[in-house]
Amino acid sequence: MADANTTKPSVVLLTKAGELMEKIVSLCKRRGFIFQSSEIYGGLNGFWDYGPLGAELKRNIKEAWWRSMTQFRDDIVGLEATIIMHPKIWEASGHTSTFADLMVDCLLTKKRFRADQIEPQSGIAYSYTGATDGASGKESKDSFSVLLPPGKPPESARKVAKQFYQLRGVENATLLGERTEQIKDTTRYNPENGSLLTEPRPFNLMLETYVGPVKSDENKSYLRPETAQAIFVQFKNVLEVSRQKVPFGICQIGKAFRNEINPRNFTFRSREFEQMELEFFIRPDEATEAIYGSIATPSGPGHPGEPQPNWGWQMWHQYWVEERFRFYENIGLPRISLVEYWQKPDELAHYAKATVDILYKFPFSKRDDKGELMGEELEGVAARSDFDLSQHQRYSGKSMTVFDEELKAAWPKLDDAKKSALSQSYFESRKKYLVKMGESEPKAEKQARDESEALSKGYYIPHVIEPSAGVDRLALALICNAYGEDQAPDEKGKMETRVVMKFHPRIAPVKVAVFPLLKNKPDLVKKAKEVRDLLRPHMSVFYDEAGAIGRRYRRQDEAGTPFGVTIDFETLGEKGPELQDTVTLRERDSMKQDRVKIADLPQRWRATIR
């Protein structure tokens, strides 16, 4: 079975892009960025391990994100919650009922596909009503059909159909009732062998487990499919202890699990992965308008600048989209490699007001009519209204409302028309939500009226903007973006192809490599180790004394180490006192070499590596 746990992880590769991806996948293994999980047992589809360089890369990504969210801001605090949580959480969030992809199975091979990932095909469909075996008298009345691309002989359809009936015990099958039909843009056939697929049916992506010694339905639980829900359920606790006021955010980094039907494109779609999620809680627009008289809305594209108290949800949403682009650029993904994709109304979750996906142009991304890479999702920035907290309020019976002193003070000063307009708008949005969630009309009306009344006293359920990113996808994007080949001279001065990983120093797994020119000169080795120890408290350092210096440089180029420091005879003062205690500093991308004082090294890269 294609999806069995013992199959090798699939790397779906396209022709030219495939070649590049093959090189990247091979480098990841060779240099210890990414390995197949459980490789010696044949791998486990959708699971990946990070080797020494990959582990450092991932840590650097997470640290950069965490620092940008917490250390550099006053209005966001962190959380670290458990992977397994109360199963009711997933009922409230909608995951148990709706977190599903449509899947289809090949009727011949049983290979499973995600229905939306089947490319439309055209050709002639050969259909059969059954088959018999004259010799044994066996027969099958199962109907079956095969799609043949234009130009293929009918025999190939019959061959596939006979295999289908053989699997049903009809050995020497005579096919019955052959019919042909021209078909355009269908997704009902296996693109690999033309066999008909099963009807699409939903497949819940949550991985189940049991908590406690008894494997019963009451003990069934789930590995979280996203980190976000923990933030919502701990919202009140965090609010109480952190002395934050809306608008403020709670962020979390952690593992998430999805039983993806078709893990593919290396680590892009995995079954175990990490997310970096922020839930940024804001006032409902009605509250902001009551306090500030009007709400600020975007005047055009681009970063709207420092947050202002009169911002409505659209400003906050645009702000977070732009902040997230800045983050990616800051760790080395050029703006031109990214795409801002606004989800269309029919793609939006029913509760979302807007969602922008930030895409990276992976080599395996599809191309548009002009041949441009369209990109694949790195992150979604969603304006999720007050849906999540409202759901947890309904399911847990615990209030998720906050009290807003400024709103309470502002409300009595509004004129009656304004009071009535804001109350009505809030009432309508709350009623819409309640009815959508299945409350009866009168009950929804009463509750929405009460909530609208509470608004006038300063109480509301906050709305949320959610930038939600994947660590592994970002690591893959950074690896793809860093991969380069150029020409560099070998030991004898002959030009050869150099593979170089041009990571931004901020996320490079190793920042600097330290080399003694020769390993059999104790003074050089001693000095080189002194330099290594001097740098270690400030950055990750790799010490290497094995092999010719050119080969050592190449190894670090492949690892993506931005700087190399060589301790040579000049360093020891053998070429005059003015060069004593200086080193050769080699820059990875330009391969330019400079003479630099050892004492200046620790401070030299401070700004670029943090």
Q: Where along the sequence are the contacts to ligand GAP (CB under 6 A)?
A: 226, 228, 258, 260, 269-270, 273, 275, 277, 377-380, 468-470, 472-473
User: In the chain, what is the greatest distance between 2 CA atoms, to the nearest angstrom?
Assistant: 99
C-alpha distances (whole Å) from 495 to each of 482, 508, 547, 556, 591 are 22, 26, 19, 18, 14
C-beta of 352: minimal distance to ligand GAP in Å? 10
CB 3 to ligand GAP: min, Å: 14
The two three-digit tokens of residue 422, written as one number: 């804001």
Angstrom CA distances, 360 to 340, 446, 509, stand at 9, 46, 21
The string of DSSP letters for 129-164 reads SEEE-TTT--EE---EEEEE-TT--HHHHHHHHHHH
Helix axes 416-436, 285-292, angle to 10 degrees: 170
What are the angstrom distances between the C-alpha of 591 and each of 216, 512, 553, 583, 588? 62, 14, 9, 15, 5
Nearer to ligand GAP, 37 or 580 (CB): 37
Beta bridge partners of 124: 148, 182
DSSP string, 438-463: T--HHHHHHHHHHHHHHHTTTEEPPE
CA distance 524 to 522: 5
Q: Shortest approach of ligand GAP to residue 604 CB, angstroms?
A: 34
Exposure class string for 442-467: b at 16+ Cβ within 10 A, else e: eebbebbeebbebbbebbbbbbbbbb
- Nearer Cβ to ligand GAP, position 469 or 541? 469
Number of other residues whose CB lies within 10 A of the CB of residue 423: 19
CB of 93 or CB of 288, closer to ligand GAP: 93
**Burial profile 196-224: b = 16 or more Cβ within 10 angstroms, e = fewer:** bbeebeebbbbbeeeeeeeeeeeeebbbb
* Least spacing, CB of residue 11 vs ligand GAP, in Å: 14
Give min distance, CB of 477 to ligand GAP, in A.
9
Residue partners of 455: CB distance under 8 A and separation at least 6:
284, 286, 287, 290, 407, 422, 423, 426
CB of 288 to ligand GAP, least distance (A): 24
Residue 112 or 538: the one with the smaller Cβ distance to ligand GAP is: 112
Q: What minimum distance in Å lies between the beta carbon of 86 and ligand GAP?
A: 18
* Sheet architecture: strand order including 593-597: 541-543, 512-516, 563-567, 582-587, 593-597
**Nearer to ligand GAP (CB atom), residue 273 or residue 427:** 273
3-state secondary structure 174-228: EEECCEEEEEEEECCECCCCCEEECCCEEEECCEEEECCCCCCHHHEEEECCCCH
Question: Of 114 and 418, which CB lies nearer to ligand GAP in the complex structure?
Answer: 114
Provide, rounded to whole angstroms, the least separation between the CB of residue 80 and ligand GAP. Answer: 16
123 versus 470: smaller Cβ distance to ligand GAP: 470
Supply the minimum distance, in Å, between the C-beta of residue 326 and ligand GAP. 18
Name which of 146 and 233 has its Cβ closer to ligand GAP. Answer: 233
**Considering beta carbons, is residue 51 or 94 the nearer one to ligand GAP?**
94
Residue nearest to ligand GAP (CB): 470
Nearest approach, Cβ of 32 to ligand GAP (angstroms)? 21
Taking the complex as a whole, the smallest distance from the CB of residue 425 to ligand GAP amounts, in Å, to 27
In the bound state with ligand GAP, the residue whose beta carbon lies nearer, of 99 and 128, is 99
| Residue 226 or 570 having the CB closest to ligand GAP | 226
